[in-house]
Copies of this chain bind each other. A is one copy, B any other.
């Protein structure tokens, strides 16, 4: 019998219990022995819940029970979750986590603690929900030098941008709809300002580079400045606007990591990732581009990824561990030197004056009284210098992903 404890009986935690229950024969078969949830740690009581008898309030009951070999940490946060995770690993119990904040902040250390105690710290569910992207990068793309990872990693913002494009609606109105549907929280800051995406792309960048990326220091632009005019003009030029986490690794092993809205050509598969779905594009030096697509959130999809980690931990112990990354910062590539094409929006009356600042304007579309055009490829610093000259005339600008 493989005895499991779940830390946190919220959406994902209850999903973990449900997946282990409903797919028990598959989960047990793949784990090599019967899998059972013995405890659920939560501060609350759940009177009448079918798992009421498994609820405990004291973490030590679990930590001191030698029968429990695997923990699912679905609490979130970096306070108690960090303390409990570390304590569990130090007891030799593997921990399978959906907690992106904790992994982004303390992943390097916790992987080392797990290694030192012969158990595993796994966190497939922390990035891309149900999409098995961490396991794919670390166990399948092993013959590759990974040079770029680009992801739609936040369902809330992708829903908003999709809806704005489909309905021609404003950001504020669409955010309201997303809140009414339960896709956005009352305080939507972490989603719409890009902080959630920053944590996830940092974890991917940690794995790609082998070094720590501080998600708080990642250049992060959200979607609050994207207007329906940006989206309409971009669509007319053949592009969708998507919020991307983007991690690039250069020949000299330097890394840049950023979060920003990008124009994506409609012919590119990433433009077809709509609504609350997530997708991760991974580029390898031999393989070229591959994409992994699915539900980036949601109770059962995220829980399925946690349980896949449980199976790996049960079956392979510490040998299934991600290689991890060290706590030193990755050498940073200059974002100022990075080259993009830029989409620029201005009043049609100003278009000639604004275009004159950028050599080689490639595409230009007009809708109503506004014009959008795309520059030729230029450095970020070059764009910023030109744009500063016309700051009062430029109504919006977005980088082009390619």
In this complex, which of A145, A271, A277, A287 has the most chain B Cβ atoms within 10 angstroms of its Cβ? A287
Minimum CB–CB distance from A292 to chain B (whole Å) comes to 6
B286→A294 contact, CB < 8 A? no
Minimum CB–CB distance for A16 against chain B, Å: 9
Using A142-B311, A291-B292 as known contacts, say yes or no to A272 and B271 having CB atoms under 8 A apart. Answer: yes
In the complex with contacts A139-B135, A308-B140, A286-B300 CB distance below 8 A: yes
Residue numbers in B under 8 Å from A27 (CB-CB): 142-143
Q: Considering only CB atoms and an 8 Å cut-off, how many residues of chain A contact the other chain?
A: 52
Say which one of A107-115, A124-132, A169-177, A219-227 lies at the interface with B: A124-132
Do A141 and B288 have beta carbons less than 8 Å apart? no
Asked if residues A22 and B286 are in contact (CB atoms below 8 Å), the reply is yes
A253 to chain B, nearest CB (A): 12
Which of chain B's residues has its CB closest to A282's CB? B294
Q: Which of A271, A272, A303, A305 has the most CB of B within 10 A?
A: A272
B295 touches A293 (CB 8 A): no
Min C-beta distance of A315 to chain B, whole Å: 9
Copies of this protein in the assembly total 2
Instruction: Kindly list chain B residues whose C-beta atoms are within 8 Å of the C-beta of A273.
Output: 269
Q: Give the residue name and chain of the B residue nearest to A166 (CB).
A: B267
Q: Once the chains bind, are A291 and B294 in contact (CB under 8 Å)?
A: yes
B295 and A287 within 8 A (CB): yes
Known contacts A135-B140, A142-B30; is-contact A289 B294 (Cβ 8 Å): yes
Q: Is A331 an interface residue (CB 8 A)?
A: no
What's the least CB distance linking A166 to chain B, in Å?
A: 10
Q: Which residues of B contact A103 (CB under 8 A)?
A: none
| A362 interface contact, C-beta 8 A | no
Give A315-334 as 1s and 0s: 1 = Cβ < 8 Å from B's Cβ atoms: 01001000000000000000
> Among the listed B26, B291, B311, which residue makes an inter-chain contact with A145, where contact means beta carbons less than 8 Å apart?
B26
- Tell whether A229 is near chain B: CB-to-CB under 8 Å: no
Does the CB pair B269–A287 fall under 8 Å?
A: no
Listed A/B pairs (11) with beta-carbon separation below 8 Å: A26-B142, A124-B140, A136-B136, A141-B304, A143-B304, A143-B311, A284-B304, A286-B304, A287-B295, A291-B294, A292-B292
